[in-house]
Structure 1
């Protein structure tokens, strides 16, 4: 095996991850833009409104994303003052990530189906929310792909995880936090 192959394999994995991220993000955005939104017929699942359901479930996703950050830092020995990571922490990390992803699906479906991508009238908040929401699924797919790839540069996986976390925070700030700060906390 030549010394060029590992570098080529690393570049290929990174390019593939980037293409998967971009492809999924763009596909969701295009669907959201071309789809005719129908917010009025969406379920609220026992909450006072669909928006309230999305805000509360989105808040749980944000909390799980924070748990992902803490467990990742702990797993890689980057959590200040923490003892060595227990053997089962990897399971906790994967479990919180899986749960966050699954809980995000109905929120995203309601957003895309009910509002579409950056609905009219235009606002910077809804554009940022739409971009962050679409980018989250692309970043998540790329992170999962990179987790299962060997010989990556040390910065690749933390960068992918940071992108996932950043998109969750942006989506939450432009939706749940906005709703809670304008209408208050309610069920």
Structure 2
């Protein structure tokens, strides 16, 4: 007979052991499907849309390319804030106790990072479309679609109940990875090719 004092999952009346139920991966299926539809939809639009080669820029920049470079860099820096704040919230940085404001910092850095990408994505899709004429551009175009798909999947997952513990960290990691690749294939390329311009 199983000892209920040494096994917390033992039923003291019957002597049977009830194993804890593992969280199902099913709740993640819908967010992933929605994210995949967004990524594919953006790719199809970018490929079929006739580029205008013109989009509205933001004041304060010498051109659209510099605007995109610095907004992507701002999103990249905010994504690092997201990563560090998430590690603190999940207790993954030894010796650091999560302050009460860390959740607010995490949410707002994510919102601002996403907002910074909107003018960039609009210009890339509307003015340029999806291009496959160079390896860097191919990687950048496909990663842009992937980034928004992963972002939507994460946002759809947030209010869902019953998610396995790995779901949100994985989706957040995919969003972060997508943004890092976007920065490497755009802003870093610009800085190393043309220098620091505004």
TM-score, normalised relative to structure 2: 0.84
The answer to which structure, 1 or 2, has the higher relative contact order (CA under 8 A, 6+ apart) is: 1
Aligned runs of 1:2-151 on 2, under 5 Å?
10-40=24-54, 42-43=56-57, 45-82=59-96, 84-118=97-131, 122-151=133-162
CA contact (8 A) 2:57 2:67 kept: no
Report what 1:3 is aligned to. none
SS in 1 for 2:110: helix
Structure with the higher fraction of residues in helix conformation: 1
Give the unaligned 5+ runs of structure 2. 1-20
Partners in 2 of 1:22 and 1:33 — Cα distance? Answer: 16
Give the unaligned 5+ runs of structure 1. 1-5
Answer with 1 or 2: which has the greater Rg: 2
Report what 1:162 is aligned to. 173
Partners in 2 of 1:114 and 1:102 — Cα distance? Answer: 19
Greater shift after overlay, 61-70 or 138-147? 138-147
Aligned length: 179
Partners in 1 of 2:101 and 2:41 — Cα distance? Answer: 36
Greater shift after overlay, 150-159 or 169-178? 150-159
Report what 1:174 is aligned to. 185
Cα shift readout 1:87-145 (whole Å, capped 9, x = no counterpart): 221111111111111111111001111111125xx111111101111111111111112
